[in-house]
Structure 1
Amino acid sequence: MPDGPGESGGGSGSAKADARKLGIGLVGMGVVAWAIGNLFLAFGYYPNWFFDSKILIGVLALVAGVGGAYLFFFFLNMFVEGLPERLSLLATPYAYLLPAFAAIAVMLLYPTIQTINYSFANDDSTEYVGFANYREVFSSQAFRDSILNNVLWLLLVPAVTVAFGVLVAVLADKLSTRGEQVSKSLIFLPMAISFVGATAIWSLIYAFDTTGLLNAIVTSLGGEAQTWLQISTARLNSLLLMVILVWLQVGFAMILLSSAIKGVPEETLEAARIDGASELQIFWRVVIPQIKGTIITVFITVVILVLKVFDIVYVSTNGNFKTNVIANLFFNKLFADDQAGQAAAIVVILLIAVMPVLVWQVRHFREEEANR
């Protein structure tokens, strides 16, 4: 039976409205993407348009980034709503996932592929040289020193960070509610400081003259002031730099581990006490096994961070006095020595070193999710 005039008109009006949504959404997404792209290109190529003001550029980037994302998804939603109902339901999840995947592809996958490609090219990436960059890197004493330092960082920093995190979490848990909040806030506070800022703070502590806190303590005890960051004996200067990263990350470890400790069922603790276990035995045999997953997660997170450590070394010593690490070596190869091929090779080596850790972390996370 044919539809009545009203129904036919309603269907036609609905189709026109959907077509209008499709058109507006498609044009809107294109305009927003074009405008944001051109604005960010202008930041890089024509900073004089913004009075060479980094503050103004930063504010505009923040507004354009957040506002542009809102407008883009607003028009994207309009576009999806304009599709036929069945197609709209099918496309909705992909409409919001694909932009994120596209951003990952542009910001991560494409640069990764390009870096691997450039690692087989010469210094100015104009012709291929095969594995020459890798041979040069592996035969370099600077690279071997950087590898050794990175291994030392890997052996010490994650373990010390987790150990202090557990210790602080347990001790803070014994305090009153107010005391726990204050102590945790103070310990977590360094997380709000950038690596560069933290290094600047600790540089004052390690300073040579008596304004340096460490030298002030040493001289007050009758010792002599030292240039601490130049003492490479037993890698003392590298150890002092590791202290900075531990100081920054203990708060992160503490928060996660404290949450895990509070999640330990009280019944298991009471059962252990009834069986006559001491508090130390309860800690090692009851609490630690039940927060093992969180400990591993924190440990792996810090391991990945250590593999990429750069700011602390660059700001404090720039890799001098046997403190260099892989990331800082890459930076100097690229920007100081203009050796783009070797720099790319170093990054690829670092990527290969990180990959097994990432794979293991993903597998561990899936196992933890499956056991819940």
Structure 2
Amino acid sequence: MESFEKLGQMVLAIALFAGVMGLILLLVGRVKRRAELVESLAFVVPALALLSVGLVYPAIRTTYQSFFDRTSDTFVGLENYTEVFTNPAMLTVLQNTAIWVILTPIMSTAVGLVYAVLVDRSRFEASAKAVIFLPMAISLVGASIIWKFVYEYRPDQQGIQQIGLLNQVLVWLGFEPQQFLLNAPLNTVFLILVMVWVQAGFAMTVLSAAIKAIPSDITDAAQLDGLGGIKMFRYITVPSIRPALIVVLTTIAIGTLKVFDIVRTMTGGQFDTSVVANEFYTQGFRILNTGIASALAVLLFVLVVPLVVYNVLQMRKAA
């Protein structure tokens, strides 16, 4: 019954928004002198209304709930935040999140940059780029399922064949198969590899465009001075694409902070692999601890905002 009520509220909200937008456009259409202010308001007001309902109000409501207990009935002050930063399980979650945010952008950007340099102006550039960009077309859940099969483990017993690609390779080389997703903290690194596999294509695309935008007279002058290979890459290519590198690093870091799909699909947050977004889901929708879940959501918001602001500033400088 409650689900039908929520569905009705959602339909009513959409209908009201559509009605308000239609009324505004109707009034604008009847105004003989379409002043610039009226036209601007006609497009800005619906967007602001939608942002207020879908973003501003939930943010304020979540922050408010973070100061209350699990049922949002009793005010507990900063107790939920204290729990997040003192509980050993929560500290593991924060540690895992930090590992994700440090390793994923660096590894993804490094792979994308090296690949972009290697295939730049080669005969098979288009097809080579398509191969590494292809994972971007796959959802994170789909990528997680693929890599879960790659990491699949079977006991090393006679008659039992490995179906996981990585373990089968280990068996061919004479090693014992490993449970890659069970042993902490390396299991977090194996999860990160999935994100790197997906994001490397994004990094390669942006950085390849930046490399092609380097003026030819700069590279020609460097070659005349005797630069080539690694020195050309270090002293010319990297400094010239520095703004693009920063944008790629911060963009991937923002996406990594909010990572949920990979952890939820591959381990469910077990075996010390949970991150902030996954723990927020667990606390809010499985344990039904609204206070802790809200505190984690606020923490995630606080961590993302500086990266977003810095990214915007760098993009403006580049423009």
- TM-score of the aligned structures, taking structure 2 as reference length: 0.89
Kindly provide the CA deviation profile for residues 1-42 of structure 1, in whole angstroms up to 9, marking residues without a partner as x: xxxxxxxxxxxxxxxxxxxxxxxxxxxxxxxxxxxxxxxx97
- Indicate the residue corresponding to 2:46 in structure 1: 99
CA distance in 1: counterparts of 2:110 and 2:274, whole angstroms = 26
Distance 1:101 1:160, change over 3 A: same
Kindly provide the CA deviation profile for residues 28-57 of structure 1, in whole angstroms up to 9, marking residues without a partner as x: xxxxxxxxxxxxx979637xxxxxxxxxxx
What SS does the aligned partner of 2:35 have? Answer: helix
- Indicate the residue corresponding to 2:93 in structure 1: 146
- Indicate the residue corresponding to 1:360 in structure 2: 310
Give the deviation of 1:278 after TM superposition.
1.7
**2:31 alignment partner, one of 83, 86, 97:** 83
- Indicate the residue corresponding to 1:157 in structure 2: 104
- Which runs of no fewer than 5 residues in structure 2 stay unpaired? 155-161
Distance 1:134 1:73, change over 3 A: closer
**1:347 alignment partner, one of 292, 297, 301:** 297
- Indicate the residue corresponding to 1:227 in structure 2: 179
Kindly provide the CA deviation profile for residues 190-224 of structure 1, in whole angstroms up to 9, marking residues without a partner as x: 11111111100000000112001111111111111
Give the deviation of 1:349 after TM superposition.
1.4
**2:67 alignment partner, one of 111, 116, 120:** 120
* Alpha-carbon contact 1:204-1:213 (below 8 Å) kept: yes
Letter of the 1:79 counterpart: L
* Alpha-carbon contact 1:146-1:329 (below 8 Å) kept: yes
Letter of the 2:43 counterpart: Y
CA distance in 1: counterparts of 2:36 and 2:310, whole angstroms = 36
Give the deviation of 1:94 after TM superposition.
2.1
CA distance in 2: counterparts of 1:201 and 1:84, whole angstroms = 59
**2:140 alignment partner, one of 195, 210, 232:** 195
Give the deviation of 1:76 after TM superposition.
4.5
**1:266 alignment partner, one of 206, 216, 225:** 216
User: CA-atom RMSD, angstroms?
Assistant: 2.2
Distance 1:123 1:73, change over 3 A: closer
What SS does the aligned partner of 2:181 have? Answer: helix
Relative contact order higher in (CA < 8 Å, ≥ 6 apart)? 2
Give the deviation of 1:73 after TM superposition.
6.6
* Alpha-carbon contact 1:81-1:88 (below 8 Å) kept: no
Letter of the 1:337 counterpart: I
Letter of the 1:114 counterpart: R
Letter of the 2:197 counterpart: W
Number of residue pairs matched?
A: 304
**1:217 alignment partner, one of 169, 182, 191:** 169
Moved more, 249-258 or 100-109: 100-109
Give the deviation of 1:364 after TM superposition.
2.0
Give the deviation of 1:174 after TM superposition.
3.4
* Alpha-carbon contact 1:82-1:88 (below 8 Å) kept: no
Kindly provide the CA deviation profile for residues 246-271 of structure 1, in whole angstroms up to 9, marking residues without a partner as x: 00001111111111111110111001
- Which runs of no fewer than 5 residues in structure 1 stay unpaired? 1-40, 47-60
Residue 285 (str. 1) matches residue 235 (str. 2): yes
Residue 172 (str. 1) matches residue 119 (str. 2): yes
CA distance in 2: counterparts of 1:44 and 1:124, whole angstroms = 19
- Indicate the residue corresponding to 2:80 in structure 1: 133
Kindly provide the CA deviation profile for residues 323-358 of structure 1, in whole angstroms up to 9, marking residues without a partner as x: 111111111111121101111011111211222222
Letter of the 2:141 counterpart: V
What SS does the aligned partner of 1:208 have? Answer: coil
Rg larger in structure: 1
Percent of aligned pairs with the same amino acid:
37
Give the deviation of 1:127 after TM superposition.
3.0
* Larger helix share, 1 or 2: 1
- Indicate the residue corresponding to 2:58 in structure 1: 111
* Alpha-carbon contact 1:169-1:257 (below 8 Å) kept: yes
What SS does the aligned partner of 2:72 have? Answer: coil
CA distance in 1: counterparts of 2:26 and 2:114, whole angstroms = 52
Letter of the 1:135 counterpart: T
